[in-house]
Amino acid sequence: MADIIVPELAESITEGTIAQWLKQPGDTVEKGEFIVELETDKVNVEVISEEAGVVSELLAAEGDTVQVGQVIAVVGAGSGSNTSAPTAAPEAKEETKAPEAPKAAPVVEETSSEQDRTIASPAARKLAREKGINLSEISPVDPMGRVRVQDVSAHGSAPTPAKAAPAPTASAPKEDDGRTTREKMSRRRQTIATRLLEVRQNTAMLTTFNEIDMTNVMALRSRKKDQFFEQNDVRLGFMSFFTKAVVAALKKYPYVNSQIDGTDIVKNNFYDIGIAVSTEGGLVVPIVRDADRKNFAEIEANIGELAKKARDNKLTLSDMSGGSFTITNGGVFGSLMSTPILNGTQVGILGMHTIQKRPIAVGNEVEIRPMMYIALSYDHRVIDGKDSVGFLKTVKELLESPEDLLLNS
């Protein structure tokens, strides 16, 4: 018999949330096989079983908060059902000789045999009972057919008994009348909210703006994109241009590439650029390491790999730790202008926005040009207006003359 224990995750992470049980009581598990997925403040971590056997007991349900070192499941000796098989009926459970009434094991109270055969997590069964939902009517997202809490919530709820409905108060409208829906914040969303609030409270944050005429960089990209793809097997986007321009500007204005440590200003002599990526779980910022040493193709490939890992929820803590400056692109969602919030202890973040054609004075003529507003949010305790304006001006000049950027990188 072996305990499944929440492993050491990272120096700053002491707890996590059970995101999904990959095995259920009675399931066979091999040594080294994943048994549970934990959601932490930064990334999701899959925990393996150190022993082969049968899952005999789950000691925490999906959605529960668990601490590092806590026992969350027990694997016993013997053989059991495969994870792809339907959940066994009560008689079959006795044949597997699993302990009676495991703490977090699914308790089958439904009278329908269809419900008995439905594969569902303990938390999903509990929520379905509370909402009066027949599990067999739910269409799970999981390709293996396992019903999770999210599936039950998305299915909607049947009328609940009067005794289970709290009396409405003047300050809290009833949630079962369809006017409101309560959703618990994920651990990652809670962390994002806390850290953003800390940044606003603990920094003297200001934002300055400029705009870039994207004509030349768009023309250069259009001319070179096919050749670039043939040579590098990666597409040429705007992010590599902006990353290179940011690195050049950071070298010119080193205080923008720094952080505060007590009463000291620590200037970074490296250029690890965070690229904000939007995921279903919230915004994450994986790092392009040593961006000053990478060419355009390497930067594009690196960003592509990190973005895919973020969307697939496969980022590791090392992918996101550190970073000296961040770039965020609200333009992909159509944002025309915004004031990005600083990332952690960094003192600067560049916000990109959507490209919009606008009438612009070119010499004594008015022309329609593709323009982008850019924003630099910065900590005024470290960076003065002169440096912040100069930083943006450098980024603007390099992107408006992209040939210079290519020659200098």
Q: Which residue in 324, 322, 302, 319 sits closest to 45, CA to CA?
A: 319
Q: Pick the catalytic residue: 27, 380, 387, 404?
A: 380
What is the C-alpha to C-alpha distance for residues 103 and 26, in angstroms, rounded to an integer? Answer: 14
Decide if 384 is catalytic. Answer: yes
Non-local CB neighbours of 172 within 8 Å, separated by 6+ positions: none
Q: State the burial class of residue 203 (Cβ atoms within 10 Å of its Cβ: 0-12, 13-18, 19+).
A: buried
What are the two backbone dihedrals, phi and then psi, of residue 75, each rounded to the nearest 5 degrees? -110, 125
Report the 10 Å Cβ neighbour count for 159: 9
User: How many angstroms separate the Cα of 147 from the Cα of each of 225, 326, 332?
Assistant: 45, 38, 33
Decide if 353 is catalytic. Answer: no
- 231-260 residues labelled b (16+ CB within 10 A) or e (exposed): eeebebbbbbbbbbbbbbbbeebebbbbbb
Q: Pick the catalytic residue: 41, 213, 312, 384?
A: 384
Q: What angle do CA 29, 30, 31 make, to 5 degrees?
A: 125
Q: Which residues are catalytic?
A: 380, 384
